[in-house]
Amino acid sequence: PAVAQPSGETEKLLARLNLSEKGLEKVKQSLDDSENAVRELLNYFKQRNSVNHPINRNLKASSKGNIATEKDFETANNALEHIFVGQPAYPPYFCGDDIDWGTRPVPDNEWVWQLNRMSFWDAMGRVYWHTGDEKYAEAWGEQLIDWTWKNPNDEDHKYAWRSIEAGIRGYRWTGLFQRFIDSPSFTPDVLVAFLNSCHDHAEYLMTKYSTRSNWGLMEAEGMAFIAITFPEFKNAEKWREEAFRRFNNEINIQVYPDGHQRELAIGYHLGCIGWFFRTYELAKMNGIENAFPSSYLERIEKMCEVPMKLCLPNGTNVQFGDAWEGTPGQHKHRFREWADFFGRDDFLYLATDGQEGKKPDSTAYALPFSGLYSMRSGWNQDAVCLVLKCGPDGGGHSQPDNGTFDLYAGGRNLMPDAGSYIYSGDPEGRAWFRQTKVHQTLTLNGGNSKYDPKLLLWQPGENLDILVVENQSYENLAHRRSVFFVDKKYFVIVDEAIGNASGDVGLHFQLAPGSGAALSKTGVAVFNSDYFSVSSNFIEGWNVLVQTTPQSGLELIKEEGWVSFQYTKKEPRPAFCYRLNKGQNQHKIQFVTLVIPFEKEAPKIQIVRSVIESDKMEIEVVENGKEKIIGYKMN
C-alpha cells in the first residue's frame, strides 16, 4: 500500500512553481484549496504539449505490443513483487513487502547503490506501454511515493544519495513521467511526491559538481533533464544554465583533443558521449541548442571516432582499465546514429558490416594525448589487430599498465587484457587485476609502475607500422617499447629497460583462456623453455606464438593468469614471464620478441641480428628463408 504523504507537501510544491506560466491560471486561482489546485496541476500536465522529450507520449498507442522485451517483462513482473535488480551481475532480490531501499544482499556496495537507480522502473514503463495494463502504472506510483517518503537526503540514507545516483534518477525520472502521466493511476499524490522529489534532486545537484569525472556529467544531466522537462519550477532556468555551463566546461576538461575521455576506459568513454549528447539533443528538441557552441559537437564527433579507431575487428572492446569486452557488433546501432547525425560514411560502413558507406581512411591510428594506438591488417572481422596503451593516469578507472597491448586475429582475441573483475566488496580481487605484472608489459621486481608516458615515434606505412613509446615506470628505470607490425602479418616487439635500477626485470605476457574440446591434448598452451617460446593451443582457428631471442641469464617462468570478461566472473588463462636480472652497472637490458598470430601452422620467422641504440634500431628478420631489415632512425 502507498505511504500517506507527509503534511504540507502540496503547499511546498505549489510554492516551488511559477504559477504565472501560461496554462497554470486555474492552478493559481485554486490556491486557497490546495487539493483542487493539485488536481488542476495534474490536468495541466496531462494536456501540456509545450515540452518535447526523447520519450514521446504521442507514440504510446503505436508502442502497444512492440516495445518491451522478454527481459523487460521478467524485470517488471519481479518488481511488482518487490524483487528488484541492483547491480545486474547479481540475481534480483526480494526487498520486503514493506520495501527496504537499503537492502544489501551481497557485500558489493554497487548492489544497493544501483538498486537506488531503479532501472526496473524503466522496464515497468516499457511493459506498461506494451500491454496497457494499469497494474504497472499503479505499482510504479506506489513505489515512487514509498521511495520519496523513506529516503530523505540525510546521513542515514547516504546509500541513496550519492550524487551519481541522484543524477541518474533525474534523467530517468523525466522519462518515467512521459511513460506514466497519461495513466489514471498517476494521481495527484503521485504528482506531488514526484515533482517535489525532482525539485529536491535538482537543488541537491546544484551543490554537487564532480569536475573531471564521468560523475560530473551524470550530475549535470540529471539537472538539465529536470530543468528542461519542468520549466514550471521557479528555479528551472537557474538549474538549466548551470547544467549547460558544466557540460560546456567539461567537454574541454574531460576530453583530450584526440577525442578520448580522460579516464581512458572505453565504457565510460561511450557513457560520456551519451551524457554530452543527450542533453544537447533535449535542448535542440526544445529550441535552446544555441547554448552549445559548434566546437561542442565537433568534440563529440571526435569522441565517436574512438571506438572506430580502438575497438577490435569484431566490435568488442579492449579491456584497458575498468572496461568490459562486451559482445561482437555491439556498437553498430551507435555507429548508425552517429553516421546519420554527422554524415559519416566510415561510421555507416561499420554500422552495416561494410555493406554501405566507405571503409575508414586508415588501418593505423594514434591518439597521442590518451596514449592509445592501434594497427590492423584491414577492416574485415578476421583482421589482425593490435591495440597498445601508454597513457597518462586516468584516475580510479585506470590501471598502472603502460606498455600493455591486446592482440586479436582471425576472429579470436588471442592476448586479451585481464579486465577488472569487480569494483567493490572484494578489495583483494580488485587489486589483483590492477597489478602491472598481470598485463603484457615490463616490471622491476614485480612492482607496480608509475604513469609517465612519452610517444617517441609513430610511423605507419604500407607494409610496416612502427610505434615507439616510453614510460618512466620506476624512479630509476624507464621502459621503452618499440612495436613493428611487419607486412600486416606479425609483430616484432623490442623492450628496453633503461636506467641504473637493479633487480629482476620481468617481461610479462598472457594468452586467451580455453578449455576442453577447443584445445589439443597438450593443454591450453605449449611452453618450450629451450626456444623461449609459448604458443596457444586451439585446435580450430587462429593461435599465437610468442618467442623471445635467447640471451645469457634469461629464464621463462609460468605465472598465475586470470581474465575477467564479465563483472564478478573470472577464468584461468596461461601467463608467463621472461625474467632477466639487471645489475646496477648495466645501463640497459633488452628483449627482442616475436609475436606471431597464425592459422594452422606458425610461419618460420627468426630474428638473426639486432642493433639497438638510443636513437636508432636495425633488426634483421628471416621469414621462410627471405631476409628483411626493419628499423628506424629518430630525427
Instruction: Parse the chain into domains and list their residue ranges.
Output: 364-607
Structure confidence by residue, pLDDT tens digits, 134-183: 999 999 999 999 999 999 999 999 999 999 999 999 999 999 999 999 99
Alpha-carbon dihedral sign for residues 154, 157, 158, 160:
negative
CA distances to 272, 325, 333 from 330, in Å: 17, 10, 7
For domain 364-607, say whether CATH 2.70.98.70 is its number.
yes
| Model confidence at 3: pLDDT above 70 | no
CB 212 within 8 A of CB 249: no
CB 428 within 8 A of CB 107: no
Structure confidence by residue, pLDDT tens digits, 401-422: 999 999 999 999 999 999 999 9
Distance CA 480, CA 464 (A): 19
CB atoms within 10 A of CB 54: 12
Q: Which of 128, 136, 171, 268 is catalytic?
A: 268
Structure confidence by residue, pLDDT tens digits, 257-291: 999 999 999 999 999 999 999 999 999 999 999 99
Range 121-128 average pLDDT: 99
Tell me phi and psi for residue 387, to 5 degrees. Answer: -120, 125
Cell of 580: 632477466
Structure confidence by residue, pLDDT tens digits, 510-555: 999 997 777 777 788 999 999 999 999 999 999 999 999 999 999 9
Distance CA 4, CA 148 (A): 11
Nearest to 229 by CA among 166, 182, 180, 171: 171
Active-site residue flag, 349? no
Distance CA 185, CA 138 (A): 5
% of the chain with per-residue pLDDT over 70: 99
pLDDT band at 7 (very low <50, low <70, confident <90, very high): confident
| Model confidence at 195: pLDDT above 90 | yes
What is the SS3 assignment for 264? Answer: coil
Torsion of CA 360, 480, 321, 417, to 10 degrees: 80
- Sheet harboring 405-409: ordered strands across? 364-367, 372-376, 385-389, 405-409, 412-415
Structure confidence by residue, pLDDT tens digits, 552-606: 999 999 999 999 999 999 999 999 999 999 999 999 999 999 999 999 999 999 9
How much is the pTM?
A: 0.95
pLDDT at 1: 43
For the chain, how are helix, strand and coil distributed in percent, rounded to 5?
Answer: 35, 25, 40
Residues 6 or more apart whose CB falls under 8 angstroms from that of 591 comprise 494, 495, 507, 548, 549, 578, 580
Nearest to 80 by CA among 72, 90, 88: 72
Would you call 512 exposed, middle or buried from its count of C-beta atoms within 10 A (0-12, 13-18, 19+)?
A: buried
pLDDT at 123: 99
Buried/exposed code over 64-81 (b: 16+ C-beta within 10 A; e: otherwise): eeebbeeebeebbbbbbe
% of the chain with per-residue pLDDT over 90: 97
Q: What is the DSSP letter of 309?
A: H
CB 535 within 8 A of CB 546: yes
Beta bridge partners of 509: 576
